[in-house]
Amino acid sequence: MSVTVESCSNIGNESLKALGRYCPNLRCVTVKNCPLVGDQGIAGLFSSAGHILEKAKLQALNISDVSLAVIGHYGSEMTDLALIGLQNVNERGFWVMGKGQGLQKLKSLSLTACPGISDLGLEAVGKGCPDLKLFAIRKCTRVSDSGLVSFTKAAGSLESLKLEECHRISQCGVFGILASCGGKLKALAIENCLGIQDLDFAFPVTSFCHSLRSLSIRNCPGFGDACLGMLARFCPKLTQLDFSGLQGISNAGILPLIQSSEAGLVKVNLSGSAKLTDNVVTAIAELHGETLELLNLDGCQYITDLSMLAIARNCSVLSELDVSQCGITDSGIAVLASAEQLSLQIFSLAGCSLVSDKSLPFLVLLGKTLVGLNIQHCRGISCGTVDLLVDQLWRWEPFFFTPHLAEKLLRVGAESVAFGSFTFVALLSGALAVAATSLVCHDNLFPLEGLFFLFPSPCFAATLSMLCLWKVS
């Protein structure tokens, strides 16, 4: 049983007490922005139902240290806990929650915009949650390097750590985490942390983080080549890299990291790294072509057809490629289309100004395996070429738009968003046309409502709209 109480101005403490007393199957509860809910309500809920509650989310509530103390004592079955925007909870509340020893089964903890969490409280939480595997902390301004490193040492089972807008965290904290994670940390994500500066400092490499597989550092302007060089020595088993928005990194920083990966890179996102050149893509393709499944180069303006040649020659399992706003021409697309071993499913060329109508036959060849294509803002592709592309891709059997295909597209799109790939790609124009035909002609229909399509040409969008209107009428 799951209960959500959100923005209910008349719901107060007595209601939460009643939930705890009279709902023996209560497993998940969310309480958000309810001004009448206070410590008595939360304490009553957890003291009565703490032995059965597994998941809880408390957001924007007028509760204090008392509530967290009760959760830390009675939450014996709690596996997932999210605390968001608790402005009145102080350091003592988090410290007592960790010392309560009731959260022994907690596996996932998320703290967002809780100004009371400090280094001392964070370390206590780490010690009090021995089975914690996933931890995310966002917009908590008091947490520093020392607190985060102490927490990582205490939480010996930690597998995934995410930091966002924690501006007191520096590169010392980042490498301290990697050195003290106990060999179990598999994923580290750092986003919008402005305290990280690219200083060439001597950090003692006494141990390696062989367990780390996924590293995501997004939109941290101070993170540069010196930090990447350190990572290359610390993390030799990486398979997923996401460095989107790191405008300060160059070939000199990224190449050692690419060359040091022993396990084989599977997903690489370098979007927004404007200084990178073909040398980086060539290294990725030659060293990791047999494992690489996703490559995002959106906004890497110095990437040219030479990179497409390296991909065509070396990448055998690549399914998603984004070269939006790159220096790709028709020749580069032709090279990709001629690669027999390449089976791209999602391909983005958005904003590639050098691509023209001459790419039509090559896009048609790629269309044999594609389920997604983004040619938005390709000014060199005319409306007439788009119509021809629609006509050619209509004939491929894979574009028959069924509920099964739609489910696959949504799944792939969701994964892309999670990794920072394509913010969801446009369906191939042929697929859109067949989707419209399915709306008109077939019994087993899938509604287009809720899907967001990027139309490369206004005329085709109008055509699809008329087809849909015809169905409605």
Residue 256: how many other CB atoms lie within 10 Å: 16
Please indicate, yes or no, if residue 101 is contained in any of the structural domains: no
Please indicate, yes or no, if residue 196 is contained in any of the structural domains: no
Please indicate, yes or no, if residue 463 is contained in any of the structural domains: yes
Please indicate, yes or no, if residue 40 is contained in any of the structural domains: no
Structural domain including 380 reads 264-473
Task: Indicate the range of 37-51, 119-133, 422-436 predicted with least confidence.
Answer: 422-436
pLDDT value of position 62: 95
CA pair distance 303, 326, nearest whole angstrom? 6
pLDDT value of position 77: 94
With a cut of 70, say whether residue 452 has pLDDT above it: no
Please indicate, yes or no, if residue 289 is contained in any of the structural domains: yes
With a cut of 70, say whether residue 395 has pLDDT above it: no
385's tokens: 């070429």
pLDDT value of position 337: 95
With a cut of 60, say whether residue 54 has pLDDT above it: yes
For the chain, the domain total comes to 1
CA pair distance 471, 473, nearest whole angstrom? 5
Angle of CA points 69, 85, 186, to nearest 5°: 80
pLDDT value of position 362: 95
pLDDT value of position 21: 93
DSSP assigned state of 394:
T
Say what the pTM is: 0.82
Task: Indicate the range of 47-61, 162-176, 253-267, 408-422 predicted with least confidence.
Answer: 408-422
Please indicate, yes or no, if residue 268 is contained in any of the structural domains: yes
Question: Each residue of 346-359: pLDDT tens digit?
Answer: 999 999 999 999 99
Please indicate, yes or no, if residue 458 is contained in any of the structural domains: yes
Higher pLDDT, 387 or 98: 98
Q: pLDDT confidence of 259, banded at 50, 70, 90?
A: very high
CA pair distance 203, 172, nearest whole angstrom? 8
Q: Kindly write down the DSSP assignment for every residue of 417-470, as one continuous string.
A: HHHTS-SSPPBPHHHHHHHHHHHHH-SS----TT-----S-HHHHHHHHHHHHH
pLDDT value of position 421: 32
pLDDT value of position 204: 61
CATH number at residue 298: 3.80.10.10
Query: Pick from 456, 464, 324, 330: which is nearest to 385 by CA?
Result: 456
With a cut of 70, say whether residue 81 has pLDDT above it: yes
Please indicate, yes or no, if residue 308 is contained in any of the structural domains: yes
